[in-house]
Amino acid sequence: MSADAASTLEHRGPAPPRAGQRRAALICAHPKPAALAVPDSGSVVGREWLDKHGLADTEVSGAHLEVDRAGGVLSVADAGSRNGTWVNGQRLTPRERVPLDSGATLRIGRTLLVYREKLLGGFDPAPPVGGLVGPFGLRKVAEAIAGFERAQPGNVLVHGETGTGKELVARAVAAAFGRDQKLAAVNVASVARGVFESQIFGHVAGAFSDAKTASPGIVVAHDGGTVFLDEIGELDLDLQAKLLRLLENREVLAVGAQRPVKVDVLFVAATNRDLGAMVERGEFRRDLWARLALATVEVPALRDRNEDVFSIVQALWARAGTRAPPPEQIEVEAVERLLLEPWPSNVRELDAVLAAVRRVDREPGLRLWALDEVLGKSEAPKLALTREMVDAAVAAQGGNVTAAAEKLGVSRGKLLRRLKRG
């Protein structure tokens, strides 16, 4: 072997980016936000385990919960506790072992825990993202905004369901850029098509019959700041072309003007629609979508961060000027119901429900009967999918997995995953 060959370093290839640390955790959603490392397999935990994490609960037994992590799957069983164990609203029979899917809600005593298979970041609760509360469920949002602080893109797209707080995220993005002092929020769907150009780009005097004086328009008026374009998916195709030119050139041509004006503006657009699907249907310009989607923030639905629900409730109480009730006036069953609700309209719907509860129940606190009055009686809780249940259902359907899944009320994929776990 030559000396040159012996001294040549081995080529290691491109290195992937380092992902944020992710660990399995049981996240306390009530009475206060905290994240707990999942106990070792075979552990029996209870009051002392909670006490070590600052979660005193006298309704939890000394030996309350059995934990098993065989095969990398977390399952729990009630250890014969005095007050019982609930998974997703269903009480377990003593020693009954059930697997926990990520997002499952676990109740022991007056403590509500949410299992997360992969919690991003540390175990300490995170501060709000702008005005959006999320001690544990907004880590990806915060991470994306932190990345914008380094890269400073000119356009940002915020995507999320209705009521998730997209405008609050947009304001947090503007603050990260230092551009929150001058911020205009425009609901694209509410601006009449005929006046959109005049409002956004401005106009010169005499440009049309009602233009007796000139107007700089929203973009020029917020030069150096931020323009937030909500419901961008509702914008007409021809207006999309005009917006694209603005995003590409950072030039505004007022209605009736001869020369464009240069601007320095951060554009944040938001939508609850699938712009990629709209592009394929010819309803949204591909080039505009590409320009916006270079920097995106995905705001999670409330049902996908149920560990944050009670913290959000407390923030909504404060915003409404309602004093938070003492712990003894908050029924854990009521909080549990809030965590298990699907919330199709997200935080906006939760806020409306809390307001309705205050009208129904004049006493301070949060009680299950008042929630039932507003929301209606809850459906039967979802059964924890045990291997015994799956085997029995498959056998009853003659080995037909699809029919067994329908019988159990779960997807075929979930049933297959349960079979694979053993």
One-letter amino acid at 396 equals A
pLDDT for residue 107 = 98
Candidates 129, 107, 65, 89; CA nearest to 300 is 129
Share of the chain above pLDDT 90, in %: 69
Q: Inform me whether the pLDDT recorded for 412 exceeds 80.
A: no
Mean pLDDT of 52-75: 94
Contact 311, 133 (CB under 8 A): yes
Predicted confidence band at 16 (pLDDT cuts at 50, 70, 90)?
low
Higher pLDDT, 402 or 62: 62
Q: Inform me whether the pLDDT recorded for 17 exceeds 60.
A: no
Mean pLDDT of 73-91: 96
Q: Which of 74-78, 107-111, 332-336, 378-382 has the lowest mean pLDDT?
A: 378-382
CATH 3.40.50.300 fits 22-120, yes or no: no
- pLDDT tens sequence across 279-332: 999 999 999 999 998 899 999 999 999 999 999 999 999 999 988 899 999 999
Beta bridge partners of 113: 28, 106
Beta bridge partners of 63: none
- pLDDT tens sequence across 351-410: 999 999 999 999 999 999 999 999 998 765 555 666 777 887 888 788 888 888 877 767
128 preceded by cis ω (within 30°)?
no
- Which tokens sit at 369? 């009967």
Provide the mean pLDDT of the chain. 90
Beta bridge partners of 106: 87, 113
- pLDDT tens sequence across 219-266: 999 999 999 999 999 999 999 998 999 999 999 888 877 888 999 999
Contact 176, 168 (CB under 8 A): no
**Widest CA span of the chain, in angstroms?**
88
Homologous superfamily assigned to 139-298: P-loop containing nucleotide triphosphate hydrolases (3.40.50.300)
Q: Which of 98-102, 131-135, 170-174, 388-392 has the lowest mean pLDDT?
A: 388-392
pLDDT for residue 414 = 74
Candidates 82, 152, 166, 394; CA nearest to 295 is 152
Q: Please tell me the pTM assigned to this model.
A: 0.85
Please give the Cα distance from 50 to 265 (Å, whole number): 50
Share of the chain above pLDDT 70, in %: 92
Compute CA distances 283 → 39, 235, 289, 346, 349, whole Å: 51, 9, 11, 26, 29
Contact 129, 298 (CB under 8 A): no
Predicted confidence band at 20 (pLDDT cuts at 50, 70, 90)?
low
Predicted confidence band at 2 (pLDDT cuts at 50, 70, 90)?
low
Contact 75, 68 (CB under 8 A): yes
Please give the Cα distance from 162 to 272 (Å, whole number): 6
Q: Which of 74-83, 164-173, 250-259, 401-410 has the lowest mean pLDDT?
A: 401-410
Please give the Cα distance from 379 to 385 (Å, whole number): 17
Please give the Cα distance from 261 to 59 (Å, whole number): 67
Predicted confidence band at 149 (pLDDT cuts at 50, 70, 90)?
confident
Q: Inform me whether the pLDDT recorded for 191 exceeds 70.
A: yes
Predicted confidence band at 19 (pLDDT cuts at 50, 70, 90)?
low
pLDDT for residue 258 = 82
Compute CA distances 31 → 51, 126, 186, 343, whole Å: 13, 16, 38, 21
